[in-house]
Amino acid sequence: MEKENVKSVYIHIPFCEQICSYCDFCKMYYDKNIVNKYLYELKKEIKKRYKNELIETLYIGGGTPSILNISELKTLFSIIDMFNLSSNLEFTFECNLNITKEKLEFLYQNKVNRLSFGVQSFNKKILKFLNRNHTKKDIFNTI
């Protein structure tokens, strides 16, 4: 993170419930203990490098950020509170299609104003080939 001109922040949450066959992202299976350590190190890194710049866009991607449970999301959002956020903040959170209503409400109540869902196909066979863990029905239900 450069000292000047930082307006955008990307935070990577590299945990997934299932590993898709085509994926080149930095990711690993969800593990509660590693999530705790990761969030601890994330906080340390931001404390060390962030110089109170005004943040206009914030993107939480992965991995699967929506895999975090409510307690882990609270920890993540307490870390995000360290940022000086613009009143016009664009705040995106990447979600899996099996995200719960409780988590969606939490995101809505905590300044998230943009969601990103990964829908690779509506075709059952292709979804199976890609090792995606959702159905065509999930796409319509969740979105």
Least gap, CB of 138 to ligand SF4 (angstroms): 13
Cβ-based nearer residue to ligand SF4, 78 or 116: 116
70 belongs to the binding site for ligand SF4 (CB under 6 A): no
Residue 74 to residues 12, 54, 62, 138: CA-CA distances in angstroms?
Answer: 16, 22, 17, 26
- 8 A C-beta contact, residue 79 and residue 43: yes
- 8 A C-beta contact, residue 78 and residue 27: no
Paired strand residues for 90: 57
As a whole number of angstroms, the distance between CA 126 and CA 108 comes to: 32
Count interface residues toward ligand SF4 (CB under 6 A): 10
27 belongs to the binding site for ligand SF4 (CB under 6 A): yes
Stretch that binds ligand SF4, among 17-25, 28-36, 39-47, 50-58 (CB under 6 A): 17-25
Cβ-based nearer residue to ligand SF4, 84 or 123: 123
Footprint of ligand SF4 on this chain (CB under 6 A)?
A: 16, 19-20, 23, 25, 27, 62-64, 118
